[in-house]
Chain A
Amino acid sequence: MSHLTVAVSEAAVRKSVEVLVEAVKWEKQDSKDFGRFSAGYHVKGHLEGGAVDLRADNTIEIKELDIKWDKLQVTLGLDIPEICVGGGCINLPWPLPDICLPRVCVFSGDPDISISPDFAAFVAQEISFIGSVEARYFDMTVPPPPGFDPCGFLNSVLSGTGVLPDPPTTNQWQIFVDPETVDIDLFDFADIVGDLIEDALTAAVTAIIPGGWVRDLVLAIIGGIADLIRFILDIPDEIDEWLSDLFNVSFGLLDFLVQIVLELFGNCVPIYAIDDPFEVLPAKVSNDVLLSGAPVTLVPVKVPIADLSVMVDDTELVVRADVGA
């Protein structure tokens, strides 16, 4: 029989995860200049839903955890090559005056146009997750594995950012929820989002081209605004697919999402850790031990923890441990 046993019912786990889900919020923004166009984003979101199921095979399943966006604002700026029309004069014989066409230039700014639509209402992701629960012992004296150490890398990258707790400085028993399957929808922008982007850009470009003969002339040169936008943005196929790539690859927001998930449930970050030996009484400066009243710093009382284990079945999560000799 173990010296210490703590069991948490599935209902309590569900309540705890509900609290956890409500507490998770994030906000991030960035921008990049790609030369002929610039792009930026400002995202803010939170988690919702997520049904928790303790399973008989020592795993925990979280189903349909929704990533809800409070803000998913894309800023696109186009730097269209300058086009100038007119400016020449037709010399007519005296006494007729020369006819000079005014010189009109369009797309002279940088960027020429900038739009910032917010797609929070059109985009959502969903996470489903199965992870096995296991206890591992972190031994300070054991060097990291040879070759690439993903957890060490993660710690070195995120150390000091506040995203991860500081690496332990003592031996620890650590409890992990090790992801077996993580299913996250990409930023899969719907057609409607692509159309919205295209319409907004077209309207913005159209607005800066003067009317009349200048417009006819400019349109004759560029061969249509939609084609111009596609050319500048180098959109190979559908604009919504291009937008998805922009978010998932160029900005690495998918990595950001995965990071959020791994931060909570990942392989490298324990959901709970307990120092070994565990301090049951802290160090104490006492003036009562010696008759002279001189201060004495009493060492902390630490108890070794042995054989910590964690088990999940379909009704509860059980943690057991022994007190070491």
Chain B
Amino acid sequence: MAFTDHSDLFGSVHEDGVNLVVRHLMRQRPSLFNYATPAFHARPDLFCQPIEAAKSVKDAGNPLFTEQEPLPIFGTPFPVGINFCLQLVDARIDFHPQDVPLPPELGELPPQRFSLMAAACAGIDCPSEEVIAGLLPWIERELLAQQKLAVGKVEESRGGKDVGRSQTGALGVTGAPPRRLVGVRPDVALQPAVLDERPPRGTVVLPTRRIECFCLEVYTVGHFEWGAVPGSEQAWLKTKLDGVEIVDLGPERLEASIECYVATVLRLGILPQVMVPLEKLVLDITKVLAEQGLQVGKQVTLGPSPAPGDVPNNPAVEDDMIKAFGKLTVTDGGA
């Protein structure tokens, strides 16, 4: 049986190929998959999972992660933050028939469906008692100075020149206001420093010795379908979500809420961005000829073969592949 028995053009991508491309993407553009505070530049060993970067990334000096502001400690009289990291460590797609086991909640992978497994790890610094004890007098003194105490206004002269002086050696250091870490080395958060009597000018990032990591696996099931996009005349391949399951997250209501949030982000934020026109998936004859220096006088366009008219499914998710069937149309009025 020929690939093109019922169409002009046929294109297929095997799940192994997709997963290899994702792997290349993770190694060559790691900043898309890893997010952390600047402190991790100096202590990459603190990441939950080591970042595997391609040689070209290292040679070019590209950052291995996208810098994030420290996680703020709410309620402090001056900005205090702690280091954290968030990593997408694995992503695999599985086209029907099912090869990757799914959580029981999602059941068996139905025909013409695919599953996507994503594993993410996050780590948050948990400041030691020593660090907390060292910073606390400064917090208290500043609260008093700012008259933000729960008991109301307290009339007392400000003292405490010695307070905390001997305890702050183990503290973290000042950073800068959000988005303005000018003049502060990325690794400075890990260097002990001494707070003086003046309120810190930037965010105090607590020194980090250890990151508490946790990992979650998210499974999604979806399918492909052709549809229109306002403002475009051609058909677009869209990815639609059928289900989401986060493994081993509790309590149940929390899991349901987070899953709902993830599903909403996917449906409205992520999946609309990955819709693809058919001609990009198969073969652009006009573009190929143009690349060969030949401008044709016809407009050669590809459209999806009608389903279920010409083919049962288009695209078809089967045999561990996604298959697309195209129809070649030649009309007047090309380049």
Closest 9 CB pairs of A and B: A3-B17, A7-B3, A9-B4, A12-B8, A7-B10, A23-B296, A323-B20, A291-B67, A301-B28
Residues in chain A near residue B289, CB distance under 8 A? 19-20, 23
Q: Are A5 and B24 in contact (CB under 8 A)?
A: no
Q: Is the CB of B298 within 8 A of A22?
A: yes
Q: Which of chain A's residues has its CB closest to B23's CB? A: A325
- Whether A297 touches B60, Cβ cut-off 8 Å, given contacts A9-B9, A19-B330, A291-B179, is yes
Give bound CA distance, A322 to B285, whole Å. Answer: 22
Question: Quick check: B69 and A280 within 8 Å, CB to CB?
Answer: no
A15 to B298, CA, bound (A): 11
Residues of A within 8 A of B (CB): 1-9, 11-12, 15-16, 18-20, 22-24, 162, 165, 271-272, 280-281, 286, 288-293, 296-303, 313, 315-316, 318, 322-325
Beyond A5-B10, A9-B8, A301-B29, whether A23 also contacts B328 by CB under 8 A is no
Given contacts A3-B17, A299-B62, A323-B21, 20 further A-B contacts (CB under 8 A): A3-B16, A5-B11, A6-B9, A9-B8, A9-B9, A12-B4, A15-B300, A19-B285, A19-B300, A22-B298, A272-B292, A280-B21, A289-B31, A291-B67, A293-B179, A296-B63, A298-B29, A299-B54, A303-B21, A316-B2
Taking a contact as CB atoms under 8 Å apart, the answer to whether A299 and B9 are in contact is no
Whether, in the assembled complex, B193 has its beta carbon less than 8 Å from a beta carbon of chain A, the answer is no
Report B-chain residues with C-beta under 8 Å of the C-beta of A288: 66
In the complex, the answer to whether A18 meets B20 with C-beta atoms within 8 Å is no
Q: In the bound complex, what is the Cα–Cα distance between A9 and B62 (angstroms)?
A: 44
- Chain B positions 286-323 with a Cβ under 8 Å from a chain A Cβ: 288-289, 291-298, 300, 319-321
With an 8 Å Cβ cutoff, the count of chain B residues facing the other chain is 55
Interchain CA distance A273-B66 in the complex, whole Å: 35
The residue that B328 contacts in the complex, of A3, A16, A293, with Cβ under 8 A, is A16
14 A-B pairs with C-beta separation under 8 A:
A3-B16, A7-B11, A8-B283, A12-B9, A15-B8, A19-B297, A20-B294, A165-B292, A291-B179, A298-B60, A299-B56, A301-B24, A323-B17, A325-B20
* Distance in angstroms between the alpha carbons of A3 and B11 in the assembled complex: 11
Please tell me if the beta carbons of B330 and A15 are within 8 angstroms of each other in the complex: yes
Does B14 contact A3, Cβ atoms closer than 8 Å?
yes
Interface string of B4-35 (1 = CB under 8 A from A): 11011111111011001100110011010000
**A20, chain B: closest CB distance, angstroms:** 7
* B interface residue numbers (CB < 8 A to A): 2-5, 7-14, 16-17, 20-21, 24-25, 28-29, 31, 38, 54, 56-57, 60, 62-63, 66-69, 179, 181-182, 282-283, 285, 288-289, 291-298, 300, 319-321, 328, 330, 334
B285 touches A16 (CB 8 A): yes
CB-CB nearest in chain A for B56: A299
* Closest partner residue, chain A, to B20 (CB atom): A323
In the complex formed, the residue of A with least CB distance to B11 is: A6
In the bound complex, do residue B38 and residue A291 qualify as a contact, i.e. CB atoms below 8 Å apart?
yes
CA distance A291 to B282 in the complex (A): 39
A300 cross-chain contacts in B, Cβ below 8 A? 28
Closest residue of chain A to B66 (Cβ to Cβ) is A289
A4 touches B4 (CB 8 A): no
- Residues B3 and A5 in contact, CB atoms below 8 Å apart: yes
With A8-B283, A318-B3, A322-B17 as known contacts, state yes or no: A20 contacts B296, CB within 8 Å: yes
